[in-house]
Amino acid sequence: MTSKVDEALGYEQARDELIEVVRRLEAGGTTLEESLALWERGEELAKVCRRWLEGARKRLDAALAEEEGAETAKSEDDSSA
């Protein structure tokens, strides 16, 4: 479950923390309990990043659809003139 703190994280903050979590896991030297806690935190951070990226994709798709609609309307105006 994602906490409110995670929801307030910006994409870059979540990404940077996720990079650090992965680095620590790859370096080893942590106890099983620490590794599990890091893994769980990494999963939470990945979800935050995924939500940000999905939101960005929706905004980009909406902007492209709006632009396409404007171009279609202009083409129809040009062909009827």
Domains and CATH numbers, the chain: 4-80 (1.10.287)
Compute the C-alpha angle 77/78/81, nearest 5°: 85
What pLDDT is recorded for position 4? 57
What pLDDT is recorded for position 74? 75
Does position 71 have pLDDT exceeding 80, yes or no? no
Does position 11 have pLDDT exceeding 90, yes or no? yes
What pLDDT is recorded for position 78? 72
Helices (H) and strands (E) in the chain, counts: 3, 0
Residue 26's closest CA among 41, 39, 14?
Answer: 39
Place of tokens 């940000």: 52
Does position 6 have pLDDT exceeding 60, yes or no? yes
